[in-house]
């Protein structure tokens, strides 16, 4: 089977389910055989998984018969890698995050960067399809280190998505155009301004490239970043990374809204992944809006926001609710009974978070929020280093995150309980449309 026979969603076409069951090898988009991670556990194991978790293994067994995309909430299913937009943006939010920001090493060249991006793309297509990287973890040459580190062996794809972004410093760093990309930098990819109250740690800020790995299994997300870092060794170094859990946003309006570390429903009024009109209006870069290589892409702002949860936990319920302008239990806007009732902004305190952030207070602007909670041990002063790793996608950060954050930084009652300690801005190109194409091809082309 050649690579071109792979369908848009990255699954091989044209053979029946039984054949799929019998053949452990799949294509990784490069024409090379890639081992299915699920095949490694054998059909007895797969049968158990089928009975227990169901959908993911069903997807593995029937993927070649059924061209329909996996259901949004499929546990263990594959999210299509190929498409007009990168997955991991409007995709229903998974449970876990591993986000990595990379710097290109001082010795790297444009050629070595391109080579790495090609290898990353093949590896990403394989891993998001639940397959091993290259010749796998345990089936390569005995004399060579395995292509895949192996800790995801036997695990399903777990709805893994890998989303790449390019930071401002890739285009120009300290006045140097290292990779001949300066003229291709989108005007929208600004160095974010300093906002009131920012206390940014340089070691958790910026980066030449980023990869957002989201999956329902943390091991799968961590494995993906680790394997990309391994492939990139010598070309890129991890500048900082962030693990996240307990998604704090919903892009699936019918699903139960998750709660953040402050105990409030977070993601009630977000852009739904199915709302193509709002995605077109607020998230995807339109043709002619900046350089062609960004058409269909999106701009990502990442903020590590520390929460002073010990102080928060001593704050009375009414005060907590006043801070958001929504009730804690139901998540209803003030003056209304139900979470999804249309808010009456005037019923909320003037400095409440929701009143200030609502589109009606901001000339209709919206962002797609995709954040995760984090706890990273203690801060050395006996307090948890916990908070929200805020991720927001938008068509132009200059017209979305920046004015919104300026407003929040100036007046939000929530500011007493939070501090922004890390920040980064990335241009996320459109999707890789078919096998053989690679991340950043139009940028470097």
Ligand X SMILES: C=CC1=C(C)c2cc3[nH]c(cc4nc(cc5[nH]c(cc1n2)c(C)c5CCC(=O)O)C(CCC(=O)O)=C4C)c(C)c3C=C
Residues at the site binding ligand X, with contacts judged by CB under 6 A? 260, 262, 264-270, 303, 305, 307, 324, 326, 353-354, 357-359, 367, 387-388, 390, 401, 404-405, 408, 418
Measure Cα distances from 84 to 9, 22, 91, 119, 387 in Å.
11, 32, 13, 20, 33
Which one, 55 or 195, has the nearer CB to ligand X? 195
Residues facing residue 191 across a β-bridge: none
Give the integer Cα–Cα distance in Å for 226 and 313: 36
Residue 235, burial from CB neighbour count under 10 angstroms (0-12, 13-18, 19+): buried
Our CB check for ligand X shows the closer of 228 and 271 to be 271
- Nearest approach, Cβ of 404 to ligand X (angstroms)? 4
Provide the minimum distance between the beta carbon of 86 and ligand X in the complex, in angstroms, as a whole number: 21
Cα 424 → chain centroid: 14
Contact 305, 390 (CB under 8 A): yes
- Nearest CB to ligand X, comparing residues 99 and 293: 99
CB of 358 to ligand X, least distance (A): 4
Q: How many residues does the chain have?
A: 445
Least distance from C-beta 243 to ligand X, angstroms?
Answer: 17
- Catalogue the long-range contacts made by 269-275 (C-beta closer than 8 Å, 24 or more residues apart): 269/343, 269/354, 269/358, 270/368, 270/369, 271/90, 271/366, 271/367, 271/368, 273/72, 273/90, 273/91, 273/92
Q: Supply the DSSP string of 185-250, one letter for each residue.
A: --TTSPPPPPPTT----GGGS--SEEEEEEESSHHHHHHHHHHHHHHTTTTEEEEEEEEEEEE---
Q: Which is nearer to ligand X, 210 or 404 (CB)?
A: 404
Q: Give me the least distance between CB of 329 and ligand X, in Å please.
A: 13
Name the residue nearer to ligand X (CB basis): 166 or 390: 390
Nearer to ligand X, 231 or 413 (CB): 413
Alpha-carbon separation of residue 128 from 37, 140, 322 (angstroms): 11, 21, 42
CB of 62 to ligand X, least distance (A): 36
In the complex, minimum distance from the CB of residue 383 to ligand X, in angstroms, rounded to a whole number: 15
Residue 98 CB, nearest approach to ligand X (Å): 20
Nearest alpha carbon to residue 117 among 38, 202, 74, 181: 181
Burial of 362 (0-12, 13-18, 19+ CB in 10 A): middle
Name which of 16 and 344 has its Cβ closer to ligand X.
344
Q: What is the dihedral of CA 137, 140, 144, 149, to 10 degrees?
A: -10
Instruction: For ligand X, give the closer residue by CB, 82 or 324.
Output: 324
């Amino acid at each position: 089977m050649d690579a071109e026979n792979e369908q848009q969603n990255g699954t091989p076409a044209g053979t029946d389910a039984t054949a799929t069951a019998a053949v452990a090898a799949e294509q990784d988009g490069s024409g090379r055989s890639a081992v299915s991670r699920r095949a490694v556990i054998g059909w007895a194991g797969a049968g158990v998984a089928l009975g227990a978790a169901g959908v993911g293994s069903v997807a593995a067994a029937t993927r070649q018969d059924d061209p329909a995309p996996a259901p949004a909430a499929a546990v263990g299913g594959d999210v299509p890698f190929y498409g007009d937009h990168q997955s991991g943006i409007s995709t229903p939010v998974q449970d876990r995050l591993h986000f990595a920001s990379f710097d290109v090493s001082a010795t790297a060249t444009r050629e070595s960067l391109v080579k790495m991006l090609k290898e990353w793309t093949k590896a990403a297509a394989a891993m998001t399809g639940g397959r091993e990287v290259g010749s796998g973890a345990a089936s390569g040459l005995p004399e060579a280190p395995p292509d895949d580190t192996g800790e995801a062996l036997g695990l399903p794809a777990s709805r893994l998505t890998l989303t790449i972004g390019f930071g401002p410093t890739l285009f120009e760093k300290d006045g140097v155009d290292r990779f001949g990309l300066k003229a291709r930098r989108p005007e929208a990819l600004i160095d974010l301004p300093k906002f009131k109250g920012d206390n940014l740690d340089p070691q958790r800020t910026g980066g030449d490239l980023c990869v957002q790995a989201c999956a329902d299994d943390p091991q799968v997300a961590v494995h993906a970043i680790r394997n990309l870092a391994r492939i990139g060794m010598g070309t890129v170094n991890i500048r900082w990374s962030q693990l996240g859990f307990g998604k704090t946003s919903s892009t699936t309006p019918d699903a139960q809204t998750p709660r953040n570390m402050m105990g409030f429903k977070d993601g009630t009024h977000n852009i739904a992944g199915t709302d193509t009109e709002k995605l077109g209006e607020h998230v995807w870069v339109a043709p002619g809006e900046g350089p062609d290589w960004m058409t269909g892409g999106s701009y990502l702002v990442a903020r590590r926001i520390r929460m002073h949860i010990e102080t928060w936990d001593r704050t009375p319920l009414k005060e907590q609710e006043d801070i958001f302008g929504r009730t804690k239990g139901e998540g209803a806007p003030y003056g209304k009974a139900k979470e999804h009732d249309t808010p009456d902004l005037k019923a909320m305190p003037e400095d409440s978070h929701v009143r200030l952030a609502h589109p009606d207070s901001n000339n209709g602007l919206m962002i797609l929020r995709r954040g995760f909670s984090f706890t990273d041990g203690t801060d050395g002063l006996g307090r948890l280093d916990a908070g929200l790793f805020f991720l927001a996608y938008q068509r132009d950060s200059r017209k979305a995150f920046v004015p919104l954050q300026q407003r929040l930084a100036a007046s939000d009652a929530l500011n007493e309980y939070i501090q922004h300690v890390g920040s980064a801005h990335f241009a996320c190109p459109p999707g890789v449309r078919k096998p053989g194409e690679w991340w950043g091809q139009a940028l470097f082309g």
